[in-house]
Structure 1
């Protein structure tokens, strides 16, 4: 199934088009049919010539119902934008288009309706010229009449081409179903409807609603009972719930989202929006509309800017970073797009859509002290370089340490291996911690010469770490852990060599299998005699002449190689270990001698250690 929103300023003509196209009545209310004015969200669906099924969420076109329009378009990946041939481009057309562009809708179809009442050519030309300036510039255009049926075959074919371009959602993604209707059915209980953009819902599944568990008792899709639904889909869920759901609430996978009232965002001004951000706005996402306080970070209040054409592409100013304090918590991911609207402004005096807001952080820290806001903005700018996609690395650059479950709840699965347990760390920060720990242990030894070493808890406090296990994971030669204390260096190893090995350990923390070259070893003060002493003391592992790693690196390498498809080549091993051929070849030969790997021919090896 595919889901498309029908937007635009036309109400009676738009509803007539949907009715003729599907044979279903999208205007559910008696008042809507009497006035010829869409007030609430309407739903209809039809099969296309290809056999694909497309569902329509028919949204109001009148300026008074912009909030309802946004509730219908928020979860939908594409739009059918309707303009009346006898009226042409209207202020509400502009506002709907600005809303769609700000929400990031990039796939759509332009439909000029009422072709039986006027020549659709002028309206088509004006609408295509406006769409050419924004995200829907590639939208195909069709002229139709909902009353006579003229052009409907062409429209169905165009819809087929549109749905063929829609991205395939991830069925394993965490569920976030924004509720657009909620009601009670006698004998069944609470029923909610919404558009499922991705993920999977099964009858019997437990979801969460505002942190409270709810169970799916039964489910329908397009008025037919189903036991399972995969996004994109229109669904109606019969819930077993103590909560009272309503439009704007969301059903989510437990642990799959971060419920938050505080978010740091990058503001992207809407086309035509001018002036500074007001102090209070309404934030829209999915079917939710939540009032929020706006605090600019990093300097003056945000100013609006027009879109510009750069190398043939329409681009927008990157925008400023602000903090939003929401009046109620929402389930969000880093990377979500919010729409910021001024509900007090009318569409005649100026667009009420102020900006888009790309969520950078759903767990921002408190701002304390002079200059904290400006520093926070600079930190987020550095973590999310221009042109780079927001990912787990961006979040770790900001938060430094995060558990895997927190990373996933923030919207990004970890890309690398944990540093300890389920903890993931920013590589640069983790390398710095190793250096700081060595310095702290030496300082403690100098200040407390009669103590056998630095207590792990004291080291945790000095480093500001949340878990003692993180401290022990940082202990590596020349440091050692003895009876809950960290001691500096193996017995008999000279202090200068200990410090040189510590600096080498810091180098290897980010890339544990990328052994330094001779020049770097010399810079660290590790000549042949110092290297021999460190190897004898167990502070370093000699793989081959001039190739040294930290103790245990061979076993760690075997664990990585065991995860490769067997057998593997030197090139595959080099890539998996993130090292050079200069190191990979002698390291593999060392593993062969240790019985951890075995050659099977001139080019391939297998890992011999089970369970790694």
Structure 2
């Protein structure tokens, strides 16, 4: 199970021992705030790594249990794979326990372990009574068959068994997809002296790499990941399922807030109107009326809005799903399929939860026609289903598309053909397909990367192709990157010279900063004719560094302004051609070393490498101690 990452949530009623149990499992106290210590309750989310022996990477989220801190609880469990429901043996199921279970169900959490805590405080008979109470409380819920573990965090009883139960349960959990576009809903923001803005969250999908260019939504602000930490350890990358802290450049602390989302792709929607499938709680204290104010919790966002029904004017009690719309007071960042919780702002209570069927809802008429339209959205068109899986996996063949969309082969092929014709899908290679918008994202990324490279190395022909492919293979499948580069060359957006890739409009040139100094070197090199100095001597006479001098030498050779006479000497092209013309004019069909020396009047130190350069450039052919002129250099 190497390189597998999970996040576990500790949920339950206040003072049932979630924080103490987290400490017993991880040896880390997640109560960080002074007021948490004083009041012995969790106000903010606490996180700790659980280290296992089998290579599984686990983050434990200790979520607040107090009713007043329910919003932090929702933000905490939104990204978890497994919940440990903590119930104290001396109290049993409490109101907060029931509300947490409801929220977990609405958020689609599938896997649960019940931890009966504080077992050392009660006798066996009491433990049995509590177990029956818990089973009754969970009857009819998705967690009715959850395994039970009895623990005492202070004595350590049952902790090993709980760890083993967690490991066993995680084998049933689907791995989060690290190949989708990166998305991290932010639940904590702070600043560090000398470092700037830091955000924390659980990565929903994709991979983040150090140095990655990201977008902060909903503001659309471009930022960069300067540093990545996972549980206080610096990392070069982090992936889906990991609890991560990212040091951002390009944004101030006061520009970021809980509920913002970091993404690496442009296909995440910013919206203030969402069409949803809503399941209400079993009992509402008072009916919920048409356009009543509600608060939606989605990801780590907490936003006010109004509920809009299309087939009723109020809900008193409803066991079936309701298709409706939430019109929000602020923008949120969501995708189809995202889970949410709906609460009433006053009197405060959980109304229900569900999932988003259309992130960008419109204004619809009241009536059956709208409900029918929403039901079609709920079921998803073939195009929707294909778009969703390609947005997540980036590159799939027909077999994979059929498996992930459950479409039959004919319907899939017809839809793909239409989408290709409409320009929404591209065929990559070996029957594999990708979204055009993902290719355009790759295209923009390649152009941006090359522009940055040209800015850093203006004298080079371009970026080595292997380096370019390697960089983007961390973000896209390698075959998709290769396809993209080939397509960009075909479209003449980029050009390839030998193994180097450059933007089509780019021409290697001297950097403005050193142009005058470098031109002095070039002039001096030309003035020295064939009897040149070592290259480092030209560079040493200027403020240029050795690296800048080496870049200039490579530039002169690659742009045919100079030739390498030896490993450490260059000769200017005009000097070389002048010597070549003189030697051709004053020698016959063949000539020897002495004749060449008499014509050029230079020492052997320069003459021999000059004649070897003539051979290399195919102006001459070596015949023992003589050289023979070729008719032309193409022979």
Partner of 2:333: 331
Q: Is the 8 A contact 1:266 1:357 kept in 2?
A: yes
The RMSD of aligned alpha carbons is 2.6
Q: 2:93–2:137: 8 Å Cα contact kept in structure 1?
A: no
1:154 to partner: Cα distance: 0.7
Matched with 1:277 is 288
More helix by share: 2
Matched, 1:342 2:354: no
Equivalent position to 2:269, from 258, 278, 285: 258
CA deviation vs aligned residue, 1:384-417 (integer Å, no higher than 9, x gap): 45xxxx4644589xxxx99x98999xxx999623
Q: Which residue of 2 aligns with 1:363?
A: 360
Q: Which residue of 2 aligns with 1:246?
A: 257
TM-score between both structures, scaled by the size of structure 2: 0.58
Structure 1 residues 69-218: aligned runs within 5 Å = 69-119=73-123, 120-209=127-216, 210=218, 211-218=220-227
Q: CA deviation at 1:376?
A: 1.9
Of 59, 63, 74 in structure 1, the residue corresponding to residue 63 of structure 2 is: 59
2: CA distance between counterparts of 1:337 and 1:148?
38
- Give per-residue Cα distances to partners, 1:291-345, cap 9 Å, x unaligned: 1111101344344334xxxxxxxxxx2x222111111111111222211011323
Structure 2 CA distance for partners of 1:58 and 1:391, relative to 1, 3 Å: farther
- CA distance 1:304–1:170, change in 2 (3 Å): same
For the 8 Å contact 1:105–1:136, the answer to whether it is kept is no
- Alignment-derived partner of residue 416 in structure 1: 416
- Deviation of residue 382 (structure 1)? 3.6
CA distance in 1, matches of 2:68, 2:308: 28
TM-score (norm 1): 0.60
Aligned counterparts of 1:228 and 1:285: Cα–Cα separation in 2: 26
Q: How far is the alpha carbon of 1:229 from its aligned partner? A: 1.1
| Max Rg structure | 2
Paired with 1:407 and 1:175, the residues of 2 have a C-alpha distance of 11
Match of 1:46 in 2: 50
Q: Where in structure 1 are there 5+ consecutive unaligned residues?
A: 307-316, 347-351, 425-612
In 1, are the aligned partners of 2:277 and 2:378 still within 8 Å (CA)?
A: no
- Listed one character per residue, the Cα deviations across residues 414-440 of structure 1 (whole Å, up to 9, x for unaligned) are 96231634248xxxxxxxxxxxxxxxx
Q: 1:339 to 1:421 in 2, by over 3 A?
A: same
Is the 8 Å Cα contact of residues 207 and 238 (structure 2) preserved in structure 1? yes
- Secondary structure at 2:17's aligned position in 1? helix
Say if 1:276 and 1:302, in contact at 8 Å, map to a contact too: yes
Name the residue aligned to 2:305.
Answer: 292
Counterpart-to-counterpart distance in 1, 2:331 and 2:65: 29
3-state SS of paired residue (1:159): helix
Hey, what does 1:21 align to over in structure 2? 25
In 1, the alpha carbon distance for the partners of 2:311 and 2:420 equals: 32
Q: Give how far 1:160 is off.
A: 0.7
> Does the CA-based 8 Å contact 1:273-1:355 persist in structure 2?
no
1:274–1:305 Cα contact (<8 Å) kept: no
Output the CA distance in 1 between the equivalents of 2:381 and 2:47: 35
CA distance in 2, matches of 1:251, 1:267: 27
Is the CA contact 1:255–1:405 (under 8 Å) kept in the aligned structure 2? no
Alpha-carbon distance in structure 1 between the residues aligned to 2:265 and 2:360: 17
Structure 2: unaligned runs, 5 residues or longer = 395-403, 406-411, 426-635
The 1:170/1:340 distance shift into structure 2, 3 A limit, reads same
Q: Deviations over 1:360-381 (max 9, x none)?
A: 21222333xxx45542222122
Does the aligned pair in 2 maintain the 1:193–1:236 contact within 8 Å? yes
Q: 1:377 to 1:274 in 2, by over 3 A?
A: farther
Query: Are the counterparts in 2 of residues 22 and 44 from structure 1 also a CA contact under 8 Å?
Result: yes
How many Å separate the matches in 2 of 1:241 and 1:373? 48
